[in-house]
Structure 1
Amino acid sequence: MQDLEQVFRDQWGRVLATLIGFLGDFDLAEESAQEAFAIAADRWPREGTPPNPGAWLITTARNRAINRIRRDQTLAAKTRLLAVEQTRQAEMEALDDTAFPDERLELLFTCCHPALAMPAQVALTLRALGGLTTEEIAYAFLVPEATMAQRLVRAKKKIQVSGIPFRVPAGHLLPDRLAAVLAVIYLIFNEGYGGRGDLASEAIRLGRALVELMPDEAEAHALLALMLLHDSRRDARFRDGDLVLLADQDHSLWDTAKIGEGRTVLDQALALHGHGPYVIQAGIASLHAEQQPDWPQIAALYGELFRRTASPVVELNRAIAIAETEGPDAGLEIIDRLSLDNLHYLHAARGELLHRAGRSAEARAAYQRALALVHDDAESRLLRRRLAALPC
């Protein structure tokens, strides 16, 4: 079963993207993919894992979808799908890992069609490509699960009713979708960076494909650089399953080759006269990859990023950087102005700075508030260790 879970993580986005391209129906593709994985969970332990799990899952899911279409009362409206099935039978039987290298990028651009609102674009792609649950996506957006479920349903219906095509759009249309595509890729990466390395790797793969598709877009290069620089520290972020903060990480575990590549890609973004939000964030990530981070410069870059985005989360990060150079009280002054009461990171950061300022009782309350909000087990254990370290 553990092997099947790994196959799910590795193959879900690829299988679903291929099915959506074939069927043109998000819900049918998702249901068929889920059925295929259920069949695999039953058969593979007895019969063994097939040589090409992805192709097996796609073929099985496709067959389940075709059977469902044949049983559908509105079969006449579905004859196009049956005709497609006839012409692609031989191709599907011969699938290998290189037969569908771009379907996920096509799915990404389909989800990021400008007819959809930006939050719906991002949420739908996280569901389709990343395999995230509605609950996980709702948490990423800081909205109730029911709200996110409605958003996903509306987005799928809009694609179906509007006849949004499953393909990478013509070159002159790409810039209209770039902001959403970048946001989606980065959110997938962030979800993976929290512990799911398969999602982080998938986001980097998509980032590379996007740079190849749009080589003159500085922000595409910058996002790839940002992900590479963050991912270079992946092996140092956990020790025996416990989260390790940047200041406590073993630098010998950092991937210096990936840091070098990230900085090279950032230089390419700068050579394209990039000065957007991802360029700034990549610059911050590059400074964090130094043995001794330049905190004043990091704080200055966060300040510029806040001026561009007005994001309170960015301001929270600026407060943390300022606390490193001007002391905890300077950071707390900024944090206490922010309206992010439901974000556990704010309370965790506040608890740390209150602890440094010698205000243990307030730090304890802040850590407890963060614990009440956190969903991740590793982060929860880190907060409990912080709490335990406070003076009684």
Structure 2
Amino acid sequence: MAARAAFSTTPQPASRTDKLRKLLWRGEAPGPEDPYNPEASQALKEEQRARDLAEAEAKRREELDQQLERDLEESNASVELFRNEAQQAAANTKKQRKPKRPHSRLKTRNKITKAPDAEALKEMTYVRANTIDELEEVELPEGWWDRNDRWGPESQYAGFSARAISEKITDPNVLKLAVRQAVAEVVAVNALGQGEKLKEKWNVTGRAALDKALKLRIGRTENGELLVEDKESVQSDIVSALSAEASGEETGVFADVISAEEAKEIVESLDSEWLQTPLQDPAVKFAVHKRVFQLTGQYVNDAKLLTVGTAGSFVATVVKPPKPTKVAEAIAEQELPQLRNVRVFDRRVTPIDKETMVGRWKVIKEELEKRSLPVTGHEHLPRPVQRGWITGRR
């Protein structure tokens, strides 16, 4: 007979089970008393979940309290900073001076006065006007805009050129002399090492400066650089007359300095070598253009100025070729009617006039009448119908 170990699924008594668990865990054992009981295990999970939720809620509330404390501290700091800035601005406003009256170039005859207040009127012998006849009459500013003294000298327009656009010089010979003077003056300024003076505004000098500039001899080195072959004293005289401080020489408009006839004689006596003077340097070209514009009123736009390479090309740019003579002008000169092959009529010559001159118009008129065709004009003919077809009206 074989021996078998006794096995039973009956649970052990509670006291024995607890005792064994305490021995294994050396104290109170975690978990339910009966791990095989599903109800006890579910209750334990719910308790654990409730504890986790309570801990999360407590942590969230603690974070909210900390955030509120930080926001409150920042708000207090902002309020304090704003208060300090406001106090500083108020202090600066008090320190500021009373604003001055803005400068005006408009000249008034009398000083600006303010009307007295009520307290000041009590001390004054003021009589109130009851009717319009009792009011004091004030002088009206009649002809204010026609007065020459209404604006100060700083408000008067002062153009750069000595001549208006409508009065610019157009005579070719006078323009050539102006370009010759401008080139000589610019080269003299450069030769003395006063390149900064090329940007300044020069005086509109008189005849003496023109004569000195025409006598100045301009040369070139082997490298093509411009130089002056005269003494430095001659150059200094020319440059000193250009400065704004020079007052010994009489100034005036360039066209009044020399006449067209005299300019023609001087141009014919000059050699043509100065026309080959290079103007490749932008500063030199700008100074020459500025001086010519100041003397003559002839302005060259940037597009044309870029193509200028020599003094001759600059002259060709500012000197406009003469316009061809119109027929009306030629007739007014009484030269055209004197030619044998020219006839002058008081109206436009039509094709009928030409046919009448050769004697064909009489024959043409008879042939047109035989065919019932209009001799002159087409007012009696119906209007063309093609336009109505195109527009859809017919």
Alignment TM-score, normalising by the size of structure 1: 0.22
Q: Find the structure with the greater CA-based Rg.
A: 2
Give the structure, 1 or 2, with the largest relative contact order (CA under 8 Å, sep 6 or more): 2
Alignment TM-score, normalising by the size of structure 2: 0.22
